Amino acid sequence: MPDIEHDNKAPLLVEQEGRVTTITINDAPMNRMSLEFMDTLEEVIEGLSTDNSAGAVVITGAGDANFSVGMNLKQLPEGIKRKGSADAVFDQRLRVLLAIENLDKPVIATLFGYCLGGGLELPLACHFRLAARDGAKIGLPEMDLGTVPAWGGSARLTQCVGRDHALDMILRGKKIDGPEALRIGLVNEVWPNDVLLDRAKKLGHELSEMPARAVAEVLRAVVGAGSQAVADGIAAERKAVHATMGTKDQIEGMQAFLQKRKPVFNQD
């Protein structure tokens, strides 16, 4: 695992407390998931897969403003140049989220402030989600950019909350709060903002005290039970990404986002 525990300039921070590993997205206040963040996260998750000293993982965001606003969209052209195509950029993110989902130890995400786009798709790949009682804005707003979720969000959200709630959130670009997320089954628990991380770590310690082999087998069985449906959904999602990339509406959505204005779609 990279030695990034005390590097405050690192795209993410890793801290070990007993058998609980905490991963912090280190780009406050927005905690964007940069290209460097995803490269480092991939290394960290790979390391955790063989680290018997870790019994549970908590993923959070630096500061107290936002978990994450998702991908740094300004880096997309650079990512395409580095990795060869937009598909390659998205493939890495899908690969990392799948590795989190298939990790043999429980992964807990804390949702607070903005949890948008990839900032929700990453928690959807986790096994537990705890949300802040106040101020959370949780959603998949890709429709506002003239496109669709690209990191498995449509598939995992549907599996998590059902078709009706998933369509309501994605097609309307809804941003829901913690109590609403709890009501529809998107999160497991809601806590006051100032104790959210502590409660996530407490859950991590509780789970890390369970028999590790039995935990791994339960995770394998439960996650595996829905993996084929998710795989099919991700394949369908990628077709939708291809169908929307480069359209007039997608270009308008991206330009409007970068120009901080409301997009005007369907101008054909």
Kindly report, residue by residue over 32-91, the tens digit of the pLDDT.
999 999 999 999 999 999 999 999 999 999 999 999 999 998 898 999 999 999 889 889
For residue 64, what is the domain's CATH number? 3.90.226.10
- Asked if residue 34 belongs to a domain, the reply is yes
pLDDT class of 179 with cuts at 50, 70, 90:
very high
Reply yes or no on whether 101 is catalytic. Answer: no
* Structural domains in the chain (count): 1
pLDDT in tens, 229-265: 667 666 766 776 777 778 887 888 878 888 889 888 7
6-10, 134-138, 190-194, 232-236: range with lowest mean pLDDT:
232-236
- Residue 253 belongs to some domain of the structure: no
Q: Which of 257, 233, 244 is nearest to 124 (CA)?
A: 233
118 in a structural domain? yes
Examine the residue annotation and report whether 43 is marked as an active-site residue of this protein.
no
Residue tagged active-site, from 101, 142, 180, 237: 142
Residue 4 has pLDDT above 60, yes or no: no
Cβ neighbours of residue 86 closer than 8 Å, sequence gap 6 or more: 76, 79, 80, 245
- Tell me whether residue 44 is in a domain: yes
The overall average pLDDT reported for the chain is 90
Residue 29: give the domain boundaries.
Answer: 12-195
Q: Catalytic residue among 121, 180, 189, 206, which? A: 121
Q: How far apart are CA 128 and CA 139, in angstroms?
A: 17
Average pLDDT on 145-150 reads 86
Q: Is residue 238 part of a domain?
A: no
Residue 205 lies in a domain: no
Summarised one tens digit per residue, pLDDT across range 20-33 is 999 999 999 999 99
Domain membership flag for residue 215: no
> Does 67 reside within a domain?
yes
